[in-house]
Amino acid sequence: MAPTAAAVAQLRAFDEALPEKTSHAADTLRLLDEVGSPATTAMAGPRFFGFVIGGSLPVTLAANWLAGAWDQNTGLYRTTPGTAYLEQIALRWLLDILRLPPQCTGAFVTGATVANMCALAAARQSLLKAAGWNVEAQTFWCAPISVIVGGEVHPTVSKSLGMLGLGRSRVVKVPVDGQVGCGPIKLPAISGPTIVITQAGNVNTGAFDPIGEICQPRPCRGCVGPRGRGFGLWAAAAPTLQHLTVGIAQADSWATDAHKC
């Protein structure tokens, strides 16, 4: 259920000048509840289909409350060993769930955009280093690297490519094959350091690239960067959908967002 127009209009009660003095905690919480609660959308259950936002279970909500009470900044193991250790275990479980090589490493980030940017930054560094190009010392200008994506590449990938200096207009887009998937179907000739980005599950149609075919070893195997990113990696956890993710483990890196999962 969406908030009413009246509830949204009532949010103006929050718009006040920066207070000169502190207020009572109970009054602040009462204001948040009386004004904020009616303006929220009921997205905590399985029947919410707006955008790609998932619900929660009672146990996950309680765990989130507990994490908030712990108030840990989990960037450093030394200061927050408890939560850092839990992250390590959760990442190991993810490798098992998504059927990825057990020697892989990973990290939890804020979303798909940052996940794509981290994977692409690692690919850029690795490929240019192999080509004898020190990106830290020589910058990106004239860097010998190409990028291949599908015609329906997710906006988070395009945004990441732009932020990393890999460009957008010079990226090669392979036409979409509506019968098979939503990304690279037939790769163009590859020469030199190249990043090939596939999509596991178009967010609107669910269509998959033939990732296993694209990730087949080829003569310039060492020149091909991260592939297999998207929301559909979670299909590996479903016995009836695992066939869609065959070959994903051959990619060099992965980025995914749990969303409704």
- Entry field: residues in the chain: 261
- Residues 76, 80, 85, 88, Cα dihedral to 10°: -30
* Other C-beta atoms lying within 10 Å of the C-beta of residue 74: 17
Give percent helix, percent strand, percent coil of the chain, each to the nearest 5.
Answer: 40, 5, 50
- pLDDT at residue 213, rounded to an integer: 79
H/E stretch holding 120 reads helix 112-130
pLDDT of residue 196: 87
Contacts of 197 (CB under 8 A, 6+ apart): 120, 147, 148, 149, 150, 153, 157, 183, 184, 226, 227, 229
- How confident is the model at residue 231, as a pLDDT? 55
| Segments of the chain with pLDDT less than 70 | 45-46, 48-50, 52, 54-55, 140-144, 177-185, 217-231, 259-261
Q: Please write the tens of the pLDDT for every residue from 11-43.
A: 999 999 999 999 999 999 999 999 999 999 887
The overall pTM is greater than 0.85: no
Q: List residues bridging with 229 in a β-sheet.
A: 199, 255
> For position 63, what pLDDT does the model report?
93
Q: Are 208 and 181 in contact (CB under 8 A)?
A: yes
- Give CA–CA dist 82/86, Å, rounded: 6
Sheet holding 146-150, edge to edge: 172-174, 146-150, 194-196
How does pLDDT run across 45-65, given as a tens digit for each residue? 667 666 767 667 889 889 999
Look up residue 111 and give its DSSP letter: S
Distances (CA, A) of 154 to 150, 214, 256: 9, 18, 12
What pLDDT is stored for residue 184 in this prediction?
56
